Chains A and B, each alone.
Chain A
Amino acid sequence: MDGQAKQGSQGGESDMECSDTECFDDYDYYNNDDNEIEQIDPKKTDIEYFSCESLNEEQVERLLNETVELLSNNLQITPSSAKVLLHSHEWDVPAIVRNYKENVSNIRIRTNSAIVPQSQICFRYITCSVCVTTQNSDKFFSLSCSHSFCKDCWMTHFEVQINQGISTGISCMARDCGVLAPEDFVLKHLARTNLREKYQQFTFQDYVKSHPCLRFCPGPNCSIVIYSKEIKAKKAFCSYCKTSFCFKCGIDYHAPTECIIIKKWLTKCADDSETANYISAHTKDCPKCNICIEKNGGCNHMQCYSCKHDFCWMCMGDWKTHGSEYYECSRYRENPNVAYESAHAQAREALKKYLHYYERWENHSKSLKLEEQTLTKLKTRINQKVMSGLGTWIDWQYLFTAAELLAKCRYTLQYTYPYAYYMDPGPRKELFEYQQAQLEAEIENLSWKVERAETTDRGDLENQMDIAEKRRTTLLKDFLDV
């Protein structure tokens, strides 16, 4: 939050530079106003704002090499040794330098002695303790720990380790010696090209994984690496394969829920979903005429085909009661007497509570998928409209924007349920659930309007979009903590 505040004030200064050529009074007026100012700092206005870059392998190499060079110049060590240090210290150059200067002997890899053949006396025969053959001393090499072994043994050692998937973690062959083999030492002893490639591929992966500011894009078959200076639970986006994910924990973006909570929730869902699936079936009966209804759209405002009764898919209540401010369907009412009841009843209550949140979580996730289908239907509908002369293609574009926004809002709404599930009862939870209900009501309104939009409704729809997004950002502003 500190960082954001700072960024915000910087943004303010730049605004001043832009506008002070005109009039100071004007400047003050604009600066204190919430109205649109040109060049708004996104960090100030958008709580979800996250700047990240999509890098290809080459760009990552360049980024890593810059850091390696910096450290190797700073400490006067070889780049390979610098890499070993960086890998084991999360690429934190200042910390390594501090550590190194304070206690040189503590850092295992002191590099000056590496790779130099151990022979001070030129012609000497030594027995390699690994292969037990006696060879000329010029065939012997050692790491900084001075444990020397013959060339062939180093080669075989590296081959065996690389074939087991070990790369940056290859250590010396001596007993209880943890000195790691730097990259140049390994590459020098590897003869086969395919192994060299494999080794470089493995080390690259290890380097990226150990770097706090880098993440492999989780998209299928995507080799992009996402870079961000901020290590926060925010939405990282791969500009190549369009995958988005939480930068901190790597799974699907999950605001306003925290990384630990969402992990807990997903594990719980994976464990309990069998029961939950059984309990929440795919179809429901119309509360009025009892005809069996399968949900085929994302909107939760249902209208029975048979009797035209409007009801809420979530609570099965009359939709009319949802229209007002008291949209209560998303709120789970805790039974106050539960403490006095038996363990069995408590377990039932716990299951009921879980199912309440799980059903809503699952339902919005399904709605999201169904709304994707709505988008295809939307295209056909627009085509029809355009063909029959009702506006041009461009006139209908706003519907796609609306659908996009709807998906965004519903996504956040879905992730509010795990958040609410793990909240302690109290005024904060009440506030949260109130805002959640508000958001849910507006989203359903939006969904209903998107599915039934005509050109004439444009103003109304855009108004609805604005309301839904405002509800969403308000909720995030109050409860998202990153």
Chain B
Amino acid sequence: MANIAAQRIKREFKEVIKSEEVAKCAIRVELLNDTFTELKGEIAGPPDTPYEGGTFVLEIKVPETYPFNPPKVRFVTKIWHPNISSVTGAICLDILKDQWAAAMTLRTVLLSLQALLSAAEPDDPQDAVVAKQYKENNEMFQITARHWTNVYAGGPNINKDCDDKIRRLADMGIEEHQARVALSSYDWELERATEQLFS
């Protein structure tokens, strides 16, 4: 079985490299070992989304039973998205679970993830805090997601207001990422975030 997996990955690797998406710099895969069990994937944040301009790194682990079981994929780059855990990077996507089909490929997975970035499904959330903000205060969600893209994925949009608030918490001795999570979770209200951090 492992043989089929390696054979498939080898083939798919070529497929991705030759594909037109690579030419447009939208997706990329990189081998991390000789046995084809671990790969690094990259997807570009889709245009007209808060993720635009960012590059998101993915960890891809290929199980021995691939392609009869789906690859295990997780975001390495921190991201603010209802279907992706802001803590672990775990992804909630049907094709990575029960809707996987053996005929799918790494390319289809990466493209589906890109599509997920453009069209979140807040009713099937992985991160409940993010999903709640997405549904109840979408404007704030856009700001937060764009800010995270800027900080973690190299996106171009700097948000001075967010940075200022984080710096104020950092001055109180809070670690930067921790401060960002608290502020993001409380719609960037400094007071409530502080309260949560010190309670």
Residue numbers of A with Cβ under 8 A of B are 129-133, 147, 149, 153, 156-157, 160-161, 171-177
Contact = CB atoms under 8 A, between A and B. Distances in A.
Contacts of B65: 156, 160
B4 A131 contact: yes
B104 interface: yes
Contacts of B103: 129-130, 147, 149, 173-175
Contacts of B104: 175
Decide if the interface of chain A is mainly helix, strand, loop or mixed. loop
Looking at B65, B102, B104, the one whose CB has the most chain A CB atoms below 10 A away is B102
A174 B4 contact: no
B158 interface: no
Contacts of B8: 130-132
Interface string B1-39: 100100110010000000000000000000000000000
Given A171-B101, A172-B101, 15 more contacts: A130-B4, A130-B67, A130-B68, A133-B7, A147-B103, A149-B102, A153-B102, A156-B4, A157-B68, A160-B69, A173-B101, A173-B103, A175-B101, A175-B103, A176-B101
B108 interface: yes
A233 B125 CA distance: 37
Contacts of B108: 175
Interface string B116-160: 000000000000000000000000000000000000000000000
The 6 closest A-B pairs by CB, nearest first: A173-B102, A160-B68, A132-B11, A130-B102, A175-B101, A174-B103
A131 B68 CA distance: 10
Interface string B96-116: 000001111000100000000
A176 B94 CA distance: 11
B68 A174 contact: no
B68 A156 contact: yes
A147 B101 CA distance: 12
A177 B68 contact: no
Looking at B65, B69, B101, B108, the one whose CB has the most chain A CB atoms below 10 A away is B101
A53 B65 CA distance: 44
Contacts of B69: 160
Looking at A132, A149, A157, the one whose CB has the most chain B CB atoms below 10 A away is A132
B93 to A, nearest CB: 14
A132 B7 contact: yes
Interface in B48-68: 65, 67-68
9 contacts: A130-B102, A132-B7, A149-B102, A149-B103, A156-B4, A160-B68, A173-B101, A173-B103, A176-B101
A272 B101 CA distance: 45
A172 B68 CA distance: 11
A173 B68 CA distance: 8
A174 B1 contact: no
Contacts of A172: 101
Nearest to A131: B4
Nearest to B99: A176
Contacts of A174: 101, 103
Nearest to B68: A160
B101 A177 contact: yes
Nearest to A132: B11
A160 B11 CA distance: 22
Given A132-B8, A133-B7, A156 B101 contact: no
B104 to A, nearest CB: 5
A131 B101 contact: no
Contacts of B4: 130-131, 153, 156
Interface string B167-183: 00000000000000000
Contacts of B101: 171-177
Nearest to A133: B7
A129 B101 CA distance: 11
Contacts of A132: 7-8, 11
Contacts of A149: 102-103
A223 to B, nearest CB: 29
Nearest to B1: A156
A156 B3 CA distance: 12
A176 B1 CA distance: 24
Contacts of B68: 130, 156-157, 160-161
A77 B1 CA distance: 35
Nearest to B67: A130
Looking at A131, A156, A157, the one whose CB has the most chain B CB atoms below 10 A away is A131
Contacts of A156: 1, 4, 65, 68
Contacts of A131: 4, 7-8
A153 B67 CA distance: 10
Nearest to B11: A132
A149 B103 CA distance: 9
A172 B101 CA distance: 8
Contacts of B7: 131-133
B111 to A, nearest CB: 12
Contacts of A153: 4, 102
Contacts of A157: 68, 102
Contacts of A176: 101
A153 B1 CA distance: 10
A131 B12 CA distance: 11
Nearest to A159: B68
Contacts of A173: 101-103
A175 to B, nearest CB: 5
A478 B146 CA distance: 65
A172 B103 CA distance: 9
A122 B31 CA distance: 40
Nearest to B102: A173
A392 B103 CA distance: 79
Nearest to B65: A160
Nearest to B101: A175
B6 to A, nearest CB: 11
A145 to B, nearest CB: 12
A180 to B, nearest CB: 13
